[in-house]
Amino acid sequence: MAQSTNTRELILEILLQITRDGEYCHIALKNALDQYQFLEKQERAFITRVVNGTLERMIELDYIIDQFSKVKVNKMKPVIRTILRSGVYQLKYMDSVPASAACNEAVKLAVKRGFGNLRGFVNGVLRNIGRNLSELRYPSEKDRLHYLSVRYSIPEWILEGWLLEYEEDTVRAMAEEFLRERPVTVRFHPDRISKAELLKILRAEGVCVKEEASLPYALHLSEFDYLMKLDSFRKGYYQVQDISSMQVAEWASPKEGDYIIDVCAAPGGKALHLAQMLRGTGHVEARDLTEYKVGLIEDNIRRSGMSNIEAVRMDARVKDDASVGKADIVIADLPCSGLGVLGRKPDLKYKMTYEVQQELAALQREILSVAAEYVKPGGILVYSTCTINREENEGNARWFAARFQEFRMLRERQMIPGRDFGDGFYIAMFRK
């Protein structure tokens, strides 16, 4: 597939925003695709594939580059190492891209970005790698941590923690699952449109649709260009949400007329799901900290057309006296390390540190302490995260049960990628 230099320039800029400037992958990619909506479907798919693939495989790509470059990756200029990383990804994982194109376009990029003096270096490294892909050396499996880190492009400190908590086969299954291509999972509103009608519309829009056996209102979408280009999405027939995340509302099982508070709701998937289950009755208050996050919730509420839900800007750490003892259900889907969603947000594994993970576990306890006060006697508190770290999950659930003895744990579950459906996700449900 022939690609213009401009397309690869855009890939370079997106990757630099993420790896050099600290932007989140899903935000940088969405902003770029929003801005360049005029690009052909094939070009947009190419951009998404190279950006996500380069991030997913970055530790492996660096390991490969270091075998063929006298200058190690961590000593290179950010532009040069990013050009080499995306070039090696294309060489190794994209058969549709000729090796000559990957090398030539990388050299052109280096020159365009003011590194003409390094054109020979970029060309030499990539062509050498391209000629020797079948001869690449990988760490010995005897050096377990290093091998798994390079093989699956996961930092060693994360793997070390997982291996203390899970069997090695489980860790490998999770790591492999994170590298698999996956469809977009959505939840549709059965009261607004029937499944048969929605399937017909989606297929007419050129979307490949697979039904989800475990939940009648869940669908898996693929082979579409851009979600906002789909009239069915703009009309609010469905909301992007993972299967594991849908379990929160399933577990909470609201009854008509319930008052529900979601303390960290953005972008609003769980809150909207609960409002849908109330069938036009009751009320859901979807709270979050920043104007930006509240705006995301409001956008999704508008698309949904539901009136029994509102978005409110509020700090979940600060007690709202007016809410004490008022809620039938409180949802505490809290900020976490996000290590259960690496298949969708591959950059998180490079941004997260052990120290930040510890801080997040403490923040979760702080928010849980406040959220507990909003539950009325007989009411439900659902605690959830999108991680697989036991300190943030089972550890905090045990802490909460010991600290707030007026609550009784009803059930809990850790969902594991590669073993269970959907993302890595944890849910614990308590009754007051």
Of residues 103, 264, 336, 386, which has the active-site annotation? 386
Burial of 334: CB neighbours in 10 Å, binned 0-12, 13-18, 19+:
buried
DSSP count for the chain of H helices, then E strands: 18, 11
Q: How many Cα atoms within 13 Å fall on the side-chain side of residue 163? A: 14
Measured over the CA atoms of residue 244, residue 246, residue 248 and residue 252, the dihedral's sign is negative
- Encoded amino acid at 252, one letter: A
Per DSSP, the three-state class of 261 is strand
How far is Cα 300 from Cα 405, in angstroms, rounded to an integer? 37
Q: Is 386 a catalytic residue?
A: yes
Instruction: Give first-to-last CA distance, the chain, whole Å.
Output: 59
Query: How many Å apart are CA 138 and CA 348, to the nearest integer?
Result: 24
CA atoms within 13 A on the CB side of 170: 14
Q: Report residue 352 as tokens.
A: 């997260």
Give the residue carrying structure tokens 């994209």.
Answer: 94
Q: Where are the alpha helices (DSSP H) in 253-345?
A: 269-277, 291-304
Q: What is the DSSP string of 175-209?
A: HHHHTS--PEEEEE-TTTS-HHHHHHHHHHTT-EE
Task: Report the amino acid identity of residue 148.
Answer: L
- Number of neighbouring beta carbons within 10 Å of residue 345: 21
Which residues are known catalytic residues?
Answer: 386
